[in-house]
A and B are shown apart, each in its own frame.
Chain A
Amino acid sequence: MQTSSLEAATQTPARPKHRLGLLLLPLVILAGMGLSVEAGLLGPLGVQVGHLWATLSIFGVGTAILLLLLLFSGPQKGPALNELPRWQLIGGFLGPMYVVVLTLATPHIGIAMTMIAILSGQVGKSVLIDHFGWFGTARKRVNGERWIALLLIVIALVLIARG
């Protein structure tokens, strides 16, 4: 899972690094493919055992794996979790919302359509986060190239909605 190299990478300041960024992109794309596999597993599972139980299988198994990884990887650097600002811990409330919606949606509209709908929400929101530097991320003004990228995404959305 390349945790050591990723961990080293996260200690650098929030400036994009050209080489490292290029190396990371295929990894991020693969991670995205994994999300579709996860959604493909979740839909049928949610129909069989219930949407919340399917969600619990994701978070329960995930917690167990991470706890084991953490136990065997020794002491961690950085401040203790209880010294952090509280709002940085709310990611755990947002995750289940996403997973529950996945199990609800995929049996009705298919995985690609679900991902496309997720996409419009993601890109709109993430460009806003970068533009205004919300949640303590580095601020990046939305320039011409990003608007072209957004336009291309809208074209892709329309294409798939029609096809």
Chain B
Amino acid sequence: MNLILLLVLVVAAGAVLSVQAAINGRLGQTVGVLRSSLVTFSVGTLVTGLLILFFEPAQAVSLLEVPKWQLTGALFGVVYMMVMVGAVPIVGTAVATVAVIVGQLAMGMLIDNFGWMGNTAIELSASRVLAMLCLALALVFMYRSSTRQAD
């Protein structure tokens, strides 16, 4: 039951993410990639900081004590945001989103399969590979439909 609740939460987070991509694509068009990303990240930092002050229980381990490579996630986030802000106005929200998903799933399966970066290993099955092919095909259809409309 808890797992289903978690899944619903994650689906909602996906919807939120695509709203964010659309808003940032629009913002990036008017003020540029750097400033629109900075707005998103600095507002995000302030919101998270406020949440920590009022809601986060004390933790045994702090950010300063974990291995430094565990803190490099933001580098990927910054690159992602800049690519999205640049790409969404050109290829459209749906195509950009599906392309991101193909990358996410390929890498997600690799990490799960090998248990990289301290994650629990989950083996790669035939149906997982087949699902990847379906997603790649979906990307092709999304791309074709958006380029044909431009002609």
- A93-115: CB near B (< 8 Å → 1, else 0) gives 11111110110111111111011
Q: Is the CB of A78 within 8 A of B31?
A: yes
Q: Which of B36, B82, B103, B125 has the most CB of A within 10 A?
A: B103
Residue among B86, B117, B120, B127 making CB contact with A159, cutoff 8 Å: B127
Q: Is the CB of A93 within 8 A of B47?
A: yes
Residue among B17, B33, B49, B141 making CB contact with A56, cutoff 8 Å: B49
Q: Is the CB of A63 within 8 A of B38?
A: yes
Q: Is the CB of A118 within 8 A of B61?
A: no
Q: Which of B11, B21, B48, B57 has the most CB of A within 10 A?
A: B48
**A122-B97, A149-B138 given; A14·B29 CB < 8 A:** yes
Tally of chain A residues near chain B (CB < 8 A):
128
Residue among A66, A114, A115, A137 making CB contact with B26, cutoff 8 Å: A137
- Please report whether the interface of chain A is mostly helix, strand, loop or mixed according to DSSP: helix
Chain B residues within an 8 Å CB radius of A101 = 9-10, 12-13
**A57-B74, A96-B47, A130-B93 given; A140·B146 CB < 8 A:** yes
Which parts of B93-116 form the interface with A (CB within 8 Å)? 93-112, 116
Q: Is the CB of A36 within 8 A of B25?
A: no
Q: Is the CB of B45 within 8 A of A33?
A: no
- Please report whether the interface of chain B is mostly helix, strand, loop or mixed according to DSSP: helix
Q: Is the CB of B108 within 8 A of A114?
A: yes
Tally of chain B residues near chain A (CB < 8 A):
125
Closest-CB distance, A64 to chain B (whole angstroms): 8
Flag whether B1 is at the interface (Cβ < 8 A). Answer: no
User: Which residues of A pack against B, CB within 8 Å?
Assistant: 1-3, 5-7, 9-12, 14-18, 20-21, 24-25, 27-45, 48-50, 52-63, 65-67, 69-70, 73, 76-79, 81, 84, 87-99, 101-102, 104-112, 114-127, 129-130, 134-138, 140-141, 143-146, 148-150, 152-153, 155-157, 159-160, 162-163
User: Which residues of B pack against A, CB within 8 Å?
Assistant: 3, 6-7, 9-49, 51-52, 55-57, 59, 61-63, 66, 69-112, 116-120, 122, 125-128, 130-132, 134-135, 137-139, 141-147, 149-150
Pairs A–B under 8 Å by Cβ, sample size 25:
A10-B89, A14-B29, A14-B89, A15-B150, A21-B91, A29-B100, A30-B103, A33-B107, A35-B100, A53-B52, A53-B59, A59-B45, A65-B78, A70-B34, A94-B17, A107-B119, A107-B120, A121-B16, A126-B18, A130-B94, A135-B19, A146-B141, A153-B138, A155-B131, A162-B127
